[in-house]
Amino acid sequence: MTRAFAAPLTAVDHVERTGLDAVTAVKRITADDPYLGGHYPHLTIYPGVFSVETVYQAARAEVLRDRAGATATLVAVDSVSFRAPLLPGDTLRAECTLSEVEDGRVTVRATCKRSDGQTAAKVRMTLAVREDQP
């Protein structure tokens, strides 16, 4: 039996640097996104875990921006609170603040907002950053 797997999710359309340790990721949710059709049969909704992925992709891009050859790995989703659904036509804005802590770890705190400004999710995660080894 063969299995088909979805292509990697592009959970960010673009990332804007909004401060020294802050970025905002933008993801437009469209009805024809292939993963939306079967999430809920009678309500097309952006899966909550994809909001977490949006935060991860944005934070990873910022952490690696000036670190050629480094890697950033998600090591913990410390907390997630889903507060409102994201629907086709919404634009997700994930406002992320990054704080470097000991041992090459970065804590990310994010508020994900819908087009109408309502908070859709709050996420806190930890990334492990490994610099390129000589």
- Segment 72-98, tens digit of pLDDT: 999 999 999 999 999 999 999 999 999
Higher pLDDT, 30 or 132: 30
pLDDT tier, 5 (very low <50, low <70, confident <90, very high otherwise): very low
Q: Are 25 and 94 in contact (CB under 8 A)?
A: yes
Q: In this predicted structure, what is the pLDDT of residue 3? A: 41
Per-residue DSSP letters for 84-134? S---TT-EEEEEEEEEEETTTEEEEEEEEE-TTS-EEEEEEEEEEEEPPP-
SS3 12: coil
**Lowest model confidence (mean pLDDT) among 25-29, 63-67, 93-97:** 63-67
- The yes-or-no answer on residue 39 being catalytic is yes
Which one from 39, 83, 122, 124 is the annotated catalytic residue? Answer: 39
37 neighbors 44 (Cβ within 8 angstroms): yes
> Distances from the Cα of 17 to the Cαs of 74, 88, 98, 108, in angstroms?
20, 26, 11, 14
- Write the class of the CATH domain 14-130: alpha beta
Q: Would you say residue 17 has pLDDT above 60? A: yes
User: How does the average pLDDT of the chain come out, rounded?
Assistant: 89
Q: What's residue 48's pLDDT?
A: 92
